[in-house]
Amino acid sequence: MAPRTPDRPTRRGRPGYDRREILDVAVDAFNEHGYDATSVGLLAERLGLSKSALYHHFTAKEQILELAVGEALDALEAVLDDPAAAQGAAADQLEHVLSGAVHVLVEKLPYVTLLLRVRGNTEVERAALARRRAFDNRVQRIVAAAIEDGSLRSDVDPHVVERLLFGMINSIVEWYRPDRSQSAHDLAHDVLAVALEGLRA
């Protein structure tokens, strides 16, 4: 038996890879080449596995996509489901959601990147888009509630504001580099400075 080390979990399934590692490699390949252009053969090649060994872990390429975008969506929805997202003035709830979304984006950067590129070509992709829309609708309701309870200014359109805020947050995947960019904490600070408090001194 191979020795265990504390920072390396026991591997399951076929020797060499567990599902988590395969998922990480597959998500990188999807982001690099595009999901449609990434064949199971290419994934197997990247992993140094045979296609049949890969099919031991996953029934189809689409199952990998489903798990990957599901992981990003689960994390984003957990931010909204957190009790802090339902406490206090609605503007404070919005602050919690924006900050939490930035943290999810940084912690699961390749997974969120993949999610944001989904265009609805398959059933799995359409289901992911539906969950994204439901997320956006929940945030829009918080923005509308914050305008209603007077904690956000009332001269803006809540739908437009939600799109602008998440347009800003989602654009982070285009340039954020974990090894060179600021921490999630500092990034969330700057997002909130722009979005809620305003940049003007």
Q: Which is nearer to a copy of itself, 179 or 197 (by Cβ)?
A: 197
- Contact set with a copy of itself (CB under 8 A): 91, 94, 146, 150-157, 160-161, 163-168, 170-172, 174-175, 182, 186-187, 189-191, 193-201
- Token look-up 């900050």 returns 99
Q: Which is nearer to a copy of itself, 78 or 193 (by Cβ)?
A: 193
What's the one-letter identity of residue 12? R
Residue 45 token pair: 């090649």
Q: Which is nearer to a copy of itself, 29 or 91 (by Cβ)?
A: 91
CA-CA distance, 71 to 175, in Å (whole number)? 21
What's the one-letter identity of residue 87? Q
Dihedral sign for Cα atoms in the order 44, 72, 110, 112: positive
In the complex, least distance from residue 189 CB atom to a copy of itself, rounded to whole angstroms: 8
In the complex, least distance from residue 199 CB atom to a copy of itself, rounded to whole angstroms: 5
Q: Which is nearer to a copy of itself, 80 or 146 (by Cβ)?
A: 146
In the complex, least distance from residue 66 CB atom to a copy of itself, rounded to whole angstroms: 23
In the complex, least distance from residue 76 CB atom to a copy of itself, rounded to whole angstroms: 17
Q: Which is nearer to a copy of itself, 29 or 94 (by Cβ)?
A: 94
In the complex, least distance from residue 153 CB atom to a copy of itself, rounded to whole angstroms: 5
Pick from 105, 177, 174: nearest CA to 135: 105
CA-CA distance, 21 to 193, in Å (whole number)? 36
Please give the C-alpha separations between residue 91 and each of 34, 134, 149, 201, in angstroms, as whole numbers. Answer: 37, 20, 9, 20
Residue 55 token pair: 């099919």
Measured from the Cβ of residue 60, the count of other Cβ atoms closer than 10 Å reads 11
In the complex, least distance from residue 177 CB atom to a copy of itself, rounded to whole angstroms: 12
Q: Which is nearer to a copy of itself, 47 or 142 (by Cβ)?
A: 142
Residues forming a β-bridge with 5: 8
Q: Is 8 helix (H, G, I), strand (E, B) or coil?
A: strand
